[in-house]
Amino acid sequence: LTIDKGNHRHFMLKEIYEQPIVVAQTLKSYVRRLDDQVSLPTPDFDLSAIRRVTIVACGTSYYAGMVAKYWFEQFARVPVDIDVASEFRYRQPVMEDGGLALFISQSGETADTLAALRHARSEGQKIAVVVNVPTSTMAREADLLLPTHAGPEIGVASTKAFTCQLAVLAALAANLARAKGRLDPREEKEVVRHLSEAPAAINGALAYDEAIEAMAHLIAPARDVLYLGRGTDYPLALEGALKLKEISYIHAEGYAAGEMKHGPIALIDENVPVIVIAPSGPLFDKTVSNMQEVQARGGKVVLISDYDGIQAAGDGCMATITMPKVHPLIAPIVYAIPVQLLAYHVAVLKGTDVDQPRNLAKSVTVE
C-alpha cells in the first residue's frame, strides 16, 4: 500500500478532504438503510444490562468521547464518566458491576489509554474499543471492537479519525438507547436518516474551504484565540483550540460558552479573536448571547453557523463561516470541518510543518 498526498500540499489537507468518503465508509458498517436500523457487531455481553459507561481517551479522541457523553446520556439515559487516560489510571476511579469501559483511539496503541484499558479490565468492566487500526493492541484486547474505517491517518493532528469516531459513537449511542428501550423504530429511523446525511453535509462544509483560507489571515497574527461552544459544540470548541495549538503554535483555549463569564472574558480585547461555534438549534440563542458579551467588550468574533444562524446573529462579526443546515445530531461531525480547515490554513500562513508539528508524535507509546 503506498500512501501519498495526491495533489494536496499536505497529508492533513488530503485527510480533511477524505472525510465525506471515509465517514460514509464507516457508517456503512453501522447503519442499515435497508431496514432503517443501527447495527453493531454483537457483543458477548448484554448491552441492556449496562448501568454506567466510563469513557477514556487522549487528545482528539478524548474530545470525540466528550461528544459521546452527551449522546449516551441524552438518548440512552445511562450515566457516563469521562477522563483523559493519564488521569483515569491514577485517580482510583470507582467501577461497579455492570459497567462498560469505552476506549477511543486512532492508533490503538496510546500507552496511557492502553494502561487504562487493562486497569478497567482488572476491575471487572466490559471493554469496548473504538479504534482505527484493526490490528492494534487495543483492538485485540476488546470485548466489543468498533472499528472506524478512516484508512491510514498520516498527519500528526487527527482529522478524519475524529469524524469517523463520532459516526461510530453516534451509532453506539443509538444502539444502547434501543437496548435500554429508549429508542422506538420510528426514532431509530430518524437517527439512521440523519447519520446518512452526514457525508453530503461534510461535502457542503468543504465547499467553504476557499472562504476559510481567505479569512485565515485574520487569525494568523493573534497570540491567543478563544473558541466557544455549548452542548456537543463545547467539545468541538476544545478540539478547535487543540488543532490550532498543535499545528500553528498559537495559544488557544476552548471554553463552554456559558462559562466564559467566570474567567476568560477578562482576556477579551480586540487582539483576541473569538471563534463561536453555534449551529441553529435549541442552544443557539444562549450561545449568541455569550457571543454578544464578547462583542460588547470589543472582542472580534468569527461566527460559524448555518445560513439562518448567520442571518440572525452575524451582524457585527469580524467574519462568518456558513455551514449547511443540519440536524443537531450530526452538527459536531459537520462543524469539525471548518474547525480543521481554519487551523490548517492558519498554520500554512505561519509556515509551520503542518504534518509533523514540533514536539508531537502520531502515536504516543510512553506514559
The site for ligand G6P (CB under 6 A) is made up of: 58-61, 105-107, 110, 113, 156-158, 360, 362-364
Q: How far is the CB of 189 from ligand G6P (least distance, A)?
A: 32
CA dihedral of residues 327, 62, 222, 206 (deg, nearest 10): -40
Nearer to ligand G6P, 156 or 313 (CB): 156
CA distance 309 to 116: 41
- Number of C-beta neighbours around residue 254 at 10 A: 27
Cβ pair 307, 245 in contact under 8 A:
no
For residue 362, indicate whether it is catalytic: yes
CA distance 68 to 55: 9
Q: Which three cell numbers stand for residue 153?
A: 491517518
Which of residues 19 and 110 has its CB atom nearest to ligand G6P in the complex? 110
Q: Which is nearer to ligand G6P, 157 or 283 (CB)?
A: 157
**42/135 with CB nearer ligand G6P:** 135
Grid cell for residue 300: 472580534
DSSP 124-160: T-EEEEEES-TTSHHHHT-SEEEE-------SSS--H
Please state, in angstroms and rounded to a whole number, the distance separating the CA atoms of residues 97 and 180.
Answer: 17
Cβ distance 181 to 43 under 8 Å? no
CB of 132 to ligand G6P, least distance (A): 7
Cell of 274: 473569538
Query: Measured from the CB of residue 357, what is the shortest distance to ligand G6P in angstroms?
Result: 8
The type of residue at 310 is: I
| Shortest distance (Å) from residue 356 CB to ligand G6P | 10
Q: What is the dihedral of CA 116, 132, 321, 226, to 10 degrees?
A: 20
Which residues, at least 6 apart from 92, have a Cβ–Cβ distance to it below 8 Å? none
Minimum distance between the CB of residue 162 and ligand G6P, rounded to whole angstroms?
A: 8
Nearer to ligand G6P, 158 or 320 (CB): 158
What values do phi and psi take at 12, rounded to 5? -60, -45
Residue at shortest CB range from ligand G6P:
59
Question: What is the biggest distance separating any 2 CA atoms in the chain, rounded to whole angstroms?
Answer: 57
What CA–CA distance (Å, rounded) separates 83 from 91? 10
Nearer to ligand G6P, 107 or 290 (CB): 107
Residue 253: strand, helix, or coil: strand
Nearer to ligand G6P, 242 or 260 (CB): 242
Among residues 189, 286, 350, 362, the one annotated as catalytic is: 362
Which residues have C-beta within 8 Å of that of residue 285, sequence separation ≥ 6? none
For residue 364, the minimal CB distance to ligand G6P (Å) is 5
Q: Least Å distance between CB 310 and ligand G6P?
A: 30
Catalytic residues: 362
